[in-house]
Structure 1
């Protein structure tokens, strides 16, 4: 089992919301209404760990080890929402999201293949690591900068743990797992399609279409693109950092050099050929 050691490592890295955030260093003249709105949107987005956890527990009923890890992941992700809301409650209470706004992002996700979902969230954690690094740089108020830096480190740790479960999946499922990870990786590492691609803005409920993503349920559904493009300026250089992180980790995981999405696409095609053409079709049908 991975959970016992993961619990110890995450417990040792855990930060305290009361003592590790320098609340007394707040500078009111260095925070704007525009920035406060983005903090609210991030808080609501982080709250969506609730339906994601419900999805993971449902779709991984046969994996108690991974579901046990969800207890930590869920706690830490909800803590992210809480620390952002605490910031707003202390310094700008008019921007604290309402319980109704928080509850709106909780809806049932459609069942999905566990391996592909694992890979999606691994990529999502890498992306959030860099989004929050950039957000910390964009903000000018000292306390919120520390908060975003803290969240970024948490997301990086989560990515590392998802990678451990991906490695275990390859040990258990072999080429089926390799193909699942490569298939999602091609999408996530393609510069033409990857920008803003994160589990919270993917279509996850056919019955709710077109309002079938977490982002569509936010108080401002168009917030994410504005945040990335015109506020934190998550440009091509930062996007490449995300893609490089995905490819670097997949190169080690799959034991093959991957310099770009084309390399990964070739790897995927080779896996399909090795497993027989029906393998990709069956995975696509499952997705």
Structure 2
């Protein structure tokens, strides 16, 4: 089982909201209403770990190891939402999300192949690691800068945990897992083709609710994400290259092949399909 060691590793790295956030260093002059609104939207987005966990537990009933790991992932992701809500409650209470706004992102996700979902969320963690790093740089207020640094490091650790389950899946399922990971990896590394941020919270997950079936579509401002990325934190080509590079490096190690570009990954994906 992977869960016991992952629990121990994440327990050692865990930060404490009361003691490890420098609340006393808050500088009101360095926080604008525009910035506070982005924190609110991220807090609501992080709350969607709740329906994601429900999806994972439903679709992995035959995998108690991975399901147990969800207890750690869910706790830490909900803490991400909570620390941003607490920040707003203390310093910009008029921007704190309401319970109704939080509950709006709890809706059922359609069942999906577990291997593809695993890869999707691995890529999501790689992306969030970089989004939050850039957010920390964009902000000038020291408390929220520190919060985003903690969140970024958590997401990187979560990506590492998912990667361990991906390695286990290849040991158990072989090319079936490779095909699933290559397929989703190519999709998630091809953001330049889609012209939109590729993250689990921005993908359609319930055909009966379409088009209101992405997490982002259920936020108070469904269009905030692209504005935050393009015009505020300015997540440009250099940062996107870090996301794509992270996906390719990890898949290269996972598949034991050289994947330097998305074209390399696409060719490898097609080879797997042909072999099947």
2:214 alignment counterpart: 213
Within 1, Cα distance between the matches of 2:162 and 2:196? 21
- 1-side partners of 2:163 and 2:5: how far apart? 15
Inter-partner Cα distance in structure 1 for 2:107 and 2:149: 29
Q: Is the 8 A contact 2:119 2:184 kept in 1?
A: yes
Partners of 1:189 and 1:261 within 8 A in 2: yes
In the alignment, which residue of structure 2 is the partner of 1:48? 48
Q: How many residues get paired? A: 275
For the Cα contact (< 8 Å) 1:139–1:145, is it kept in 2?
yes
Give the whole-Å Cα distance in 2 for the aligned partners of 1:185 and 1:15: 30
Q: Deviations over 1:74-98 (max 9, x none)?
A: 0000000000000000001001100
Give the CA deviation at 1:186: 1.0
Instruction: Tell me, in whole angstroms, the C-alpha distance in 1 between the residues paired with 2:97 and 2:143.
Output: 19
Give the equivalent residue in structure 1 for 2:149.
Answer: 149
Gapped runs of 5+ residues in structure 2? none
Contact 1:195–1:239 (Cα < 8 Å) also in 2: no
**Alpha-carbon separation, structure 1, partners of 2:117 and 2:179:** 13
TM-score (norm 1): 0.95
Q: Which residue of 2 aligns with 1:2?
A: 2
Contact 2:45-2:215 within 8 A present in 1 as well: yes
SS at match of 2:193: coil
- Counterpart CA distance in 2 for 1:21 and 1:186 is 37
Structure 2 partner of 1:284? none
What is the CA–CA distance in structure 2 between the aligned matches of 1:87 and 1:272, rounded to whole Å? 48
Deviations 1:128-169 (Å, cap 9, x if unpaired)?
Answer: 000000000000100000000000000000000000000000
| Structure 1 runs not aligned, ≥5 long | 276-287
Q: Which residue of 1 aligns with 2:67?
A: 67
Per-residue Cα deviation, 1:174-232 (whole angstroms, up to 9, x for no partner): 00000000001111112323751000010000000110100000011000000000000
CA distance, structure 1, for counterparts of residue 274 and residue 224 of structure 2: 42
Would you say 1:240 and 2:244 are equivalent positions?
no
Q: CA RMSD in A?
A: 0.7
Asked if 2 retains the 8 angstrom alpha-carbon contact of 1:47 and 1:81, the reply is: yes
SS at match of 1:192: helix
**Could you give the per-residue CA deviations for residues 54-112 of structure 1, whole angstroms, max 9, x where no partner exists?**
00000000000000000000000000000000000000100110000000000000000
The residue that corresponds to 2:104 in the other structure is 104
Structure 2 length normalisation: TM-score? 0.99
Residue in 2 aligned with 1:279?
A: none
Aligned match of 1:281: none
CA distance in 2, matches of 1:202, 1:167: 25
1:210-269 CA-to-partner distances (Å, cap 9, x unmatched) read: 101000000110000000000000001100000000000000000000011110011011
Alignment of 1:1-287 (within 5 A): 1-190=1-190, 191-193=192-194, 195-275=196-276
